[in-house]
């Protein structure tokens, strides 16, 4: 039976993820996913594209706090329900987004690790980022977190198996930093999906995900190579972009859990 194999969130954009057994489905993504963001002094967001060290910053949840750790440094505790009222403007690609600045102590912690001055901002429920483009239904509005473009990213285990069969050294799925990993279909069957259900929650499959240099970074060591982009480019290139995984929005609410059945409701 096709099923949901893994749920992951990435509370601080580009830092390590947390695997979950189940999660509530929200309009802007799973709770806590990409709700914190590190930015330059000028407001530009930073990611592993320019700062691979971010992948070595580990995140865990302890009750109402996030515990942030990195080898050689005392851990940092972040309150999940941030109460800061100081707004900071940041730029995520073409979107201007506001976030709640946390504190000078947090800024100093991350700046020390990364070797340059950065600030940490938070997206609480009072911070909104509208998701607007021609791919979405016009009968309602949508939001997104500090993610690159969409609230949910789905990848498929059979598609990774197909890719690994072409590589000299196989890679794990964490290179693609997906929220939902499914299995039970033929490789790249997801290219044809338009609407899917996971458990009792319906999702719209918006578009393929264009991949970047982050996929070439080993998430454990921070060392980059040319793969898997070099190989993916030989058979997964569309309009100049290398595609792997699908961007999703939630059409309904509810909860998903590992082991849920995945059903295809509509295909292209």
Spell out the SS3 assignment of 130-143.
Answer: ECCCCCCCCCCCCE
Answer whether residue 176 shows pLDDT above 90.
yes
Residue in 122, 113, 39 with CA at minimum distance from that of residue 74: 113
Whole-number Å distance between alpha carbons of 126 and 168: 47
**Cβ contacts of residue 150 below 8 Å, gap of 6+?**
131, 144, 206, 247, 248, 249
pLDDT at 167: 98
pLDDT in tens, 88-132: 999 898 899 999 999 999 999 999 999 999 999 999 888 889 987
The pair of three-digit structure tokens given for residue 9, joined into one six-digit string:
């969130």
The CA–CA distances, whole Å, from 12 to 78, 145, 183, 266 equal 11, 11, 27, 33
The model's pTM: 0.95
Q: Can you tell me the mean pLDDT for 22-43?
A: 96
Mean pLDDT of 168-177: 97
Structure tokens, 115: 């070797």
| Predicted local confidence at residue 81, as pLDDT | 85
Instruction: Identify the domain containing residue 102 by its residue range.
Output: 3-124+131-267
Query: Position of tokens 């009750």?
Result: 63
Cβ(196)–Cβ(206) below 8 Å: no
The CATH number of the domain where 11 resides is what? Answer: 2.40.33.20
Is pLDDT of 193 > 80? yes
pLDDT digit string (tens) for 57-86? Answer: 999 999 999 999 999 999 999 999 877 778
Number of domains in the chain: 1
In this prediction, residues 197-222 reach a mean pLDDT of: 96
**Arithmetic mean of pLDDT over the chain:** 95
Specify the pairing of strand 152-156 against strand 180-183: parallel
Dihedral sign, Cα of residue 35, residue 38, residue 39, residue 41: positive
CA dihedral 173, 157, 181, 216 (to 10 degrees): 20
Give the pLDDT of residue 85: 75
Percent above pLDDT 70 for the chain? 99
- pLDDT category at 52 given cuts 50, 70, 90 is very high
Confidence (pLDDT) at 126: 87
CA 48 to chain centre: 12
Q: How far is CA 32 from the centre of its chain?
A: 11
Q: What percent of the chain shows pLDDT beyond 90?
A: 87
């Amino acid at each position: 039976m096709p099923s949901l194999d893994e749920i992951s969130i990435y509370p601080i954009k580009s830092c390590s993820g947390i695997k979950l057994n189940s999660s509530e489905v929200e309009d802007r993504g799973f709770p806590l996913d990409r709700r914190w963001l590190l930015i330059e002094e000028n407001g530009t967001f930073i990611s592993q594209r320019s700062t691979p060290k971010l992948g070595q910053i580990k995140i865990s949840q302890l009750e109402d706090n996030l515990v942030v750790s990195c080898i050689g440094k005392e851990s940092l505790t972040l309150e999940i329900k941030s109460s800061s009222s100081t707004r900071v403007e940041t730029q995520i690609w073409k979107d201007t987004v506001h976030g709640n600045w946390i504190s000078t102590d947090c800024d100093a912690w991350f700046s020390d690790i990364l070797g340059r001055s950065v600030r940490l901002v938070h997206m609480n429920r009072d911070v909104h980022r509208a998701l607007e483009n021609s791919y979405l239904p016009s009968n309602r509005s949508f939001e997104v977190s500090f993610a690159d473009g969409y609230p949910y990213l789905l990848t498929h285990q059979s598609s990774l198996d197909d890719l690994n069969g072409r590589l000299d050294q196989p890679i794990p799925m964490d290179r693609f930093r997906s929220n939902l990993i499914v299995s039970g279909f033929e490789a790249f069957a997801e290219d044809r999906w338009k609407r899917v259900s996971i458990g009792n929650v319906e999702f719209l499959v918006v578009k393929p995900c264009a991949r970047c240099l982050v996929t070439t970074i080993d998430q454990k060591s921070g060392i980059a190579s040319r793969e898997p982009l070099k190989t993916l480019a030989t058979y997964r290139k569309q309009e100049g972009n290398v595609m792997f995984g699908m961007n999703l929005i939630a059409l309904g609410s509810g909860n998903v859990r590992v082991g849920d059945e995945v059903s295809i409701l509509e295909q292209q």
